[in-house]
Structure 1
């Protein structure tokens, strides 16, 4: 029910512009948009959510276009063509604010939880690759690199649908971590990458 209510609040855009993101645990840009989109000029953001404040100052379009963090034509060469420190932005310079280390708001999860992805244009997925940071990585002080990650899940295909969910296990970890998700869309060679901040209890 909550998932349906959240999706019901998402903005409408044309199919040419509409894509998607992980909405739970929320990707960084989506979390900033969801929390502050309606009050993005509120000065309280600077104290209450400094990372979102910095992101809005750097480029508000990162949040307004939370569903469009994609690159075409990677041909599966995700690591070779995505430098360390640029994973959270999918190596898009316009979204570099989401690569910055700091006190990002985190979603509290258990060691087994469900990832919920919203695919506004119903592209479907060839697969998702899901990674989580190694124990000891500090998202408050470190940019994310490939060497900081463990691959925990590679899914199968998903038929076109707006709401996609799958279960993951992050056993052996506690505390602050980054969940890193790669979505290989089915309609063309189009790849999305996102970081979601989590607190594992």
Structure 2
């Protein structure tokens, strides 16, 4: 059967609808629950998301923007006990409190000033009292339940952050120093017009190269997730739009039976894009000897999309023509 899928920013090969009554979560680096939602609530790809679904069901993934409580007087620890932080203290999200080291993680590389742009997807924006940013301490063990004592505050934003047309808050923070390898960034969003607060765990990996990069013009704007194998004769096209929504670039790859495997076609697309695009790169970001690299990988879920600072406001979509459809 021939199909054609056209997908907006950050939605990878899925026609899933977020609940309209809920409020938001961290998009970059991606929240753990939202990451599983993007994989597909009914058939997630990663082992960690599969286990979270087995324990708590698929509905929690559909409710990714409702990880909330009403802590009186900012007493978040009372509302969200140790061991339940990633699920916001709610039984619905218990599968996302699993202490395991294989949650899909976001590689973190700062800019030359040591800063990183955090993006919070607010499906229903609210008046904001503050955002608080925490990171796990050095020596934290990912195979043990996450506790408040495992967290260190490294940044905060008081009041309403800048918001784009897509209802995303943008906050640039100085990253904590001395962090390498796997960590969790935990974010609390507290409203100013009620006691409601939202909680978010983002699994991240800091570079083992602890010096600041000489420069890093690349900002993550989404990812490429392959939900299925594509048959021979299929094609995949990455379309890049300028800040007025006009077509700026188009990068197409034709697939045979091997290249169409779910673990292969994002890699093939990334190679084509990285060789030809001025605005975007696809792959995994890393830093070696203070130089930033974006390298495609053969993976169903690992490749991210990065935008060059010189092309602010640009976006992308993924067109999939299955079985030779045009």
Distance 1:131 1:73 in 2: 18
Distance 2:134 2:155 in 1: 7
Does 57-66 or 156-165 show the bigger shift?
A: 156-165
**Distance verdict in 2 for CA 1:132–1:73, change over 3 Å:** closer
Distance 1:24 1:160 in 2: 15
**Distance verdict in 2 for CA 1:181–1:115, change over 3 Å:** same
Distance 2:19 2:53 in 1: 21
Normalized per residue, the structure richer in helix is 1
Report whether the alignment pairs 1:109 with 2:108. Answer: yes
Question: Of the candidates 171, 176, 187, which is equivalent to residue 182 of structure 2?
Answer: 176
Question: Of the candidates 80, 88, 91, which is equivalent to residue 89 of structure 2?
Answer: 91
Distance 1:85 1:13 in 2: 26
Distance 2:122 2:192 in 1: 11
CA-CA distance at 1:110 after TM superposition: 1.7
Does the residue aligned with 2:78 lie in a helix, a strand or coil?
coil
What aligned pairs does 1:37-76 form with structure 2 within 5 A after superposition?
A: 37=41, 40-41=42-43, 45=45, 49-58=46-55, 59-76=57-74
What aligned pairs does 1:1-201 form with structure 2 within 5 A after superposition?
A: 5-6=9-10, 11=17, 13-14=19-20, 17-37=21-41, 40-41=42-43, 45=45, 49-58=46-55, 59-102=57-100, 103-111=102-110, 112-139=115-142, 141-158=143-160, 161=163, 162-168=167-173, 169-201=175-207
Distance 2:202 2:89 in 1: 16
1:77-119 deviation digits (Å, cap 9, x = unpaired): 1123321111111111111111111110100002532211011
Q: Compute the TM-score of the two structures, normalised by the length of structure 1.
A: 0.85
Does the residue aligned with 1:89 lie in a helix, a strand or coil?
coil
Larger radius of gyration: 2
CA-CA distance at 1:120 after TM superposition: 0.9
Q: Is the 8 A contact 1:124 1:160 kept in 2?
A: no
Q: Is the 8 A contact 1:114 1:166 kept in 2?
A: yes
2:259 corresponds in structure 1 to none
* Unmatched 5+ stretches in structure 1: none
Distance 2:64 2:93 in 1: 10
CA-CA distance at 1:60 after TM superposition: 1.1
Count residues in correspondence. Answer: 188
